[in-house]
Amino acid sequence: MQIGVATSHAVDQRRVFIIEPDEITRAALTFMLQDEIETHEMASAAAAYAAGQDWRKPDLVLVSALLAGADGAALVTGLSTAFPGVRVLVVHDQASEGEALAALRAGAHGALAKPLTIAAVRKKVDALLGRGGAPLIQLSL
């Protein structure tokens, strides 16, 4: 059952990969998005790269700032190279703000701060996918 989902979103054919080592955060993000968009969760970037070769490539990747770590540039560049045209959204908490900023400087398209709420997650995902009339603005830091 889909609750609070616009019909146009329910039939959207775009795909989101969630790359998050923490199983609880991964499950929460999947729960928040799966009614509106095809969502796949992975624990590592390697799993996402493999899935992108076996399946249709993602339109958006939500990636943990913890995975980006000190070398956020390599992860963002790797995702952009493996999946041309993909948009990257970094999920972070207060402790990993530095890693999120490094990923943004490397070309990530946005950041999503914890604590996560359904409204905030869906709004940010919709904006990055160009749904809901929100303009896409690339920030340079």
Count structural domains, the chain.
1
34: domain CATH number is 3.40.50.2300
User: Residue 53: what pLDDT?
Assistant: 86
Region 110-121 average pLDDT? 94
In this structure, is residue 121 part of a structural domain? yes
In this structure, is residue 134 part of a structural domain? no
Region 27-56 average pLDDT? 91
In this structure, is residue 6 part of a structural domain? no
Domain that holds residue 98: 12-127
In this structure, is residue 51 part of a structural domain? yes
Mean predicted lDDT score pLDDT of the chain: 85
Query: What order do you get walking across the sheet with 110-113 strand by strand?
Result: 38-42, 15-19, 60-64, 87-92, 110-113
Q: Model confidence over 86-106: pLDDT tens digits? A: 999 999 999 999 899 989 999
In this structure, is residue 48 part of a structural domain? yes
